[in-house]
Amino acid sequence: MNEPVCLSVDAMGGDYAPEAIIQGIDLFADSAKDKVSKILLHGQEPILKPLLQKFSNAASLCEVRHTDTFVAMTDKPSQAIRRARGSSMWNAIRAVKENQAHAAVSAGNTGAMMVLGKVLLGMVKNVHRPAIAASWPSPHGYSVVLDVGANVECSAHQLVEFAILGEAFSRIVHKKDNPTVGLLNVGTEDVKGNDVVREADQLLRDANLRMNYSGFIEGNDISLGSTDVVVTDGFTGNVALKAAEGTAKLAASVLKESLMSRPLYRFGALLSRGAFQKMKDKMDPKNSNGGLFLGLGGLVVKSHGGTDAEGFSNALEVARRMSASDYMDIIQQNLNTFAGKQSGASS
């Protein structure tokens, strides 16, 4: 798709909404000239209009669509679905369903987004559950890890579907020509892991997919970038993601404390300021913000709830790249191949 895309944004979702959302759109608009035709901004107009007056870039792109209601960050999915109709999140996703926008973006309640996405958009043919794909910093740029929270338990078939979806995401968002795919396990030997992981490995090897599958990888391989795509269930993926974020914060804290402990160290830190800034930028979660609910019948991008303006701008860029791509066509061949293989095996 070469023409500019239209994005649909939930302005009321997130810990710092709507201010961070508007500021993020303003940053994004400055870098996305001629690539985005319009942003449909869903939320409370009396609050949004004064904010837009402060940010001219955002104001030039946004069309405000008023609603009084929004989904709270603390709402359970079961509560959200009962009172979400007509909310800013509901309306943002519905715009995609009605072909008014190419993708929806929200920093709101993750569980509610997944439920509303399934209700409004349905699933891609031959995909049973959506998965959240996250970008993970590595020595080679970024890897894709999925699922990182949508599905606590997964079957072997679902892990294969995640591999297909994540491989396409890596091609589009991180511009990998032939991304490698690994299956997260407690070891690389064939006998390691539970029955689900071992079955998924065998299915991936037997399915004749157009995919560069590398086999089992371990937890340390995620940050080492041993493969471009890491496939796992949502429980393990979410724990790994949160553990990595915590480790990064701990390392930054210990490094800062150490560098400030002696005058000579402080002088060395001053000389190395550029290198430390480069490391900080690489590890900062906001620079890889924007997880996609892969497998839905439309594009829905989840921003981190606690993101700032820069982070939300990055989530918008993920939505733009996916909207301008042939993502659905890329995944369909492998999904059809896998579904046909399973159908033949069961007959």
Weakest-pLDDT range from 42-51, 141-150, 195-204: 141-150
In whole angstroms, give the CA distance from residue 140 to residue 35.
27
- pLDDT higher than 80, residue 190: yes
Average pLDDT over residues 293-322: 92
Cβ-contact 135, 176 below 8 angstroms: no
Confidence bin at 227 (pLDDT 50/70/90): very high
Give the model's confidence band at 277: pLDDT under 50 very low, under 70 low, under 90 confident, else very high: low
| Sign of the alpha-carbon torsion through 241, 253, 24, 5 | negative
Domain 1-122+295-325: assigned CATH number: 3.40.718.10
* Domain definitions of the chain by residue range: 1-122+295-325, 128-292
Q: Say which DSSP state 296 is in.
A: B
pLDDT at 17 exceeding the cut of 70: yes
Q: How far apart are CA 147 and CA 94, in angstroms?
A: 24
Q: Which of 154-168, 312-326, 327-341 has the lowest mean pLDDT?
A: 327-341
Q: Give yes or no for residue 40 having a pLDDT over 90.
A: yes
Q: Is the pLDDT of residue 285 over 70?
A: no
Bridge-based pairing of strands 5-10 and 36-43 is parallel
Question: Is it the case that residue 170 has pLDDT exceeding 90?
Answer: yes
Closest CA to 120 of 103, 96, 100: 96
Question: Pick the residue with more confidence: 313 or 265?
Answer: 313
pLDDT of residue 110: 87
Cis peptide before 18 (omega within 30 of 0): yes
pLDDT of residue 288: 61
- Listed range (227-231, 247-251, 274-278) with the worst mean pLDDT: 274-278
- Other CB atoms within 10 A of residue 286 CB: 20
Whether 1-122+295-325 and 128-292 share one fold: the answer is yes
Please write the tens of the pLDDT for every residue from 74-85.
777 777 777 788
Q: Which of 133-137, 176-180, 252-256 has the lowest mean pLDDT?
A: 252-256
pLDDT bin (cut points 50, 70, 90) of residue 203 is: very high
Mean pLDDT of 158-177: 93
Task: Indicate whether 341 pLDDT > 80.
Answer: no
Is the pLDDT confidence value at 336 over 90? Answer: no
pLDDT band at 248 (very low <50, low <70, confident <90, very high): confident
Helices 234-259 & 273-283 angle (0-180, nearest 10): 160
| 114-128, 257-271, 324-338: the lowest-pLDDT one | 257-271
Q: Residue 75 corresponds to which tokens in the numbers above? A: 């709402």
The pLDDT-based confidence of 255 (bands split at 50, 70, 90) is confident
Check residue 100 and give its pLDDT. Answer: 96
User: φ, ψ for residue 65 (rounded to 5)?
Assistant: -120, 110
When pLDDT is cut at 50, 70 and 90, the band that residue 286 belongs to is low
Q: Mean per-residue pLDDT for 219-232?
A: 93
Amino acid at the residue 86? G
Q: What is the pLDDT of residues 104-119, one digit of tens each?
A: 999 998 888 988 999 9
Average pLDDT over all residues of the chain = 88
- Give the model's pLDDT for residue 284: 60
Q: Across residues 302-323, what is the average pLDDT?
A: 91
Look up the CATH superfamily of 128-292: Isopropylmalate Dehydrogenase (3.40.718.10)
* pLDDT higher than 70, residue 28: yes
Residue located via tokens 């046909």: 340
pLDDT score for 343:
67
Whole-number Å distance between alpha carbons of 197 and 133: 19
Region 324-331: what's the mean pLDDT? 89
Higher pLDDT, 75 or 46: 46
